[in-house]
Each structure stands twice: as C-alpha cells, then as structure tokens.
Amino acid sequence: SKGLQVAIDGPASAGKSTVAKLVAKKFNYIYCDTGAMYRAVTLAVLNQGIDLKDNAKIAEVARQVKISFEPGETEQRVFLNGQEVTHDIRLPKVAKNVSAIAAVPAVREEMTKQQREIAANGGIVMDGRDIGTTVLPDAPVKIFMVASAYERARRRYVENKAKGIETTSLEELQKAIELRDKKDSTRKVSPLTQARDAVKLDTTNLTIDEVVDEISEIIKKHE
Ligand code: C5P
C-alpha cells in the first residue's frame, strides 16, 4: 500500500508543519501544507490589488491561480503561477489577511477540491484547520494539535529571532495568534474545530521528537 492519509489540525503556530514534515519523512509520505495554499491565494489577491470585500473577485483568483510545491533544502518551496513565493507568503501582511480570505466559501471549496486530489492516493500528511473535519473526513489518523497561546508565541518568537526577523514583540505575536485563532474558529464554513475521532495532543510541554513519536505510534497501529 502507498500509505495512509494523516490529518493534522490545530490553531496557529502549534507546531503542526514542523511535526508533519518530520512524520512524512519518517514514513516516506508526501507532506502538504494547506495553510500555504490559503496564504498563496491571499498573496495573489493582495498583489492584484483586489478589494478584500469583493468575494466574487477573490473566488475567481482562487480558481485561477496555480499553486504548487517543490521540495527545498530546508523547507518546502511554494510557487504561485510558477513564481516562488516561499518567503512572501510568510509576510505579516499575508498573515493579517489570510483568515478573511480563507473564510470565503468559494475559496474553501476550491482549495478543498485541490487538497482532496493531492491526498487521493494516500501516503500523505496534510496539515491545516479543517483536514480531519472536512477535507479528509475518512482519514484513519487524525491529530488535533494544541499548545498554550503563550507557548506558541514564544516558539514563533524564537524562530523569528533565529531567522533574523525581529520586528514583532512576544506580546504582539501572542495577540496576533489569538486573533487569527478566533477568526478561524468562529467562521461559518469549516471552522477550526477538533474532529470527533481526532486524537488531541497538547504539545505545550512536549519536545518535537516526543510529538513525532506519539504520532508515529498512532500511524503504526493503523498501517
Ligand atoms: O497554517 P497556517 O497558519 O499557515 O494557515 C494560515 C491560515 O490559513 C489560517 O490562519 C487559516 O485562516 C487558513 N487555513 C484554513 N484552513 C486550512 C489551513 C489554513 O482556513 N486547512
């Protein structure tokens, strides 16, 4: 068999992508960062100067853009219409607007369709907000990863510092994270919520390796 579908959901900066990448590597599965897809659509909308209230135009962008991934040396590279946007999709202006774009029903419909195609053959670790509830409701392995808002902000702060980005204070980061969680959890279409059959993993006091090991054990039980 080509492997299972593994869904990893949770709030912003809970460590989903770090852990998802390592789990994918360990099992030789594909990794798909669905947040990067919503970020890429957001970047396209911003670049085209589209009114953020014009849902029809935003939906058109979501249907027309071509988002693709390529393996990179340290991180997965993201392309928007053939142009690399790996770094640009992490800009604060994108982070600030992505939750609004991701709340547009037609945007979600299009992304969900593409994500199901990517995951169709199994052997995939997909992370996001609605993978276990909406995109892959039949995935045999579903993880809901959480950590305290303070711990998530602290990790992001340390990460930014290591990358040489140091414009946002820890307090500001925590506020921005909490605001994005609120928007993602309260939207009408597929809000961030734990699937009934998901395993909740609180990573506040766990190391990356411990989280990877826990998920690996769950995968092995289902393989
Ligand atoms: O995972 P990341 O923090 O990069 O996701 C950015 C944003 O994309 C989230 O805050 C959310 O608004 C949106 N998103 C979503 N559904 C997903 C993944 C991300 O709505 N499956």
User: Does the Cβ of 3 fall within 6 Å of ligand 1?
Assistant: no
pLDDT in tens, 46-82: 999 999 999 999 999 999 999 999 988 878 899 999 9
Kindly give the distance from the C-alpha atom of residue 17 to the centroid of ligand 1, in angstroms, as a whole number. 11
- CA-closest residue to ligand 1 atom 5: 35
User: Does the Cβ of 102 fall within 6 Å of ligand 1?
Assistant: yes
- CB contact set of 3 (below 8 Å; sequence gap of 6+): 27, 28, 29, 122, 123, 124, 223
Both tokens of 33, joined, read 């960062």
pLDDT in tens, 195-208: 999 999 999 999 99
Owner of token pair 């090991």 = 213
| Alpha-carbon torsion (42, 48, 54, 59), positive or negative | negative
Record the pTM. 0.95
H or E element at residue 214: helix 208-222
Best residue among 21, 38, 155, 181 to mutate for probing ligand 1, ranked by most atoms within 8 Å of CB: 38
What does DSSP say about strands 141-146 and 124-128: parallel, antiparallel, or unpaired?
Answer: unpaired
Q: What ipTM goes with this model?
A: 0.98
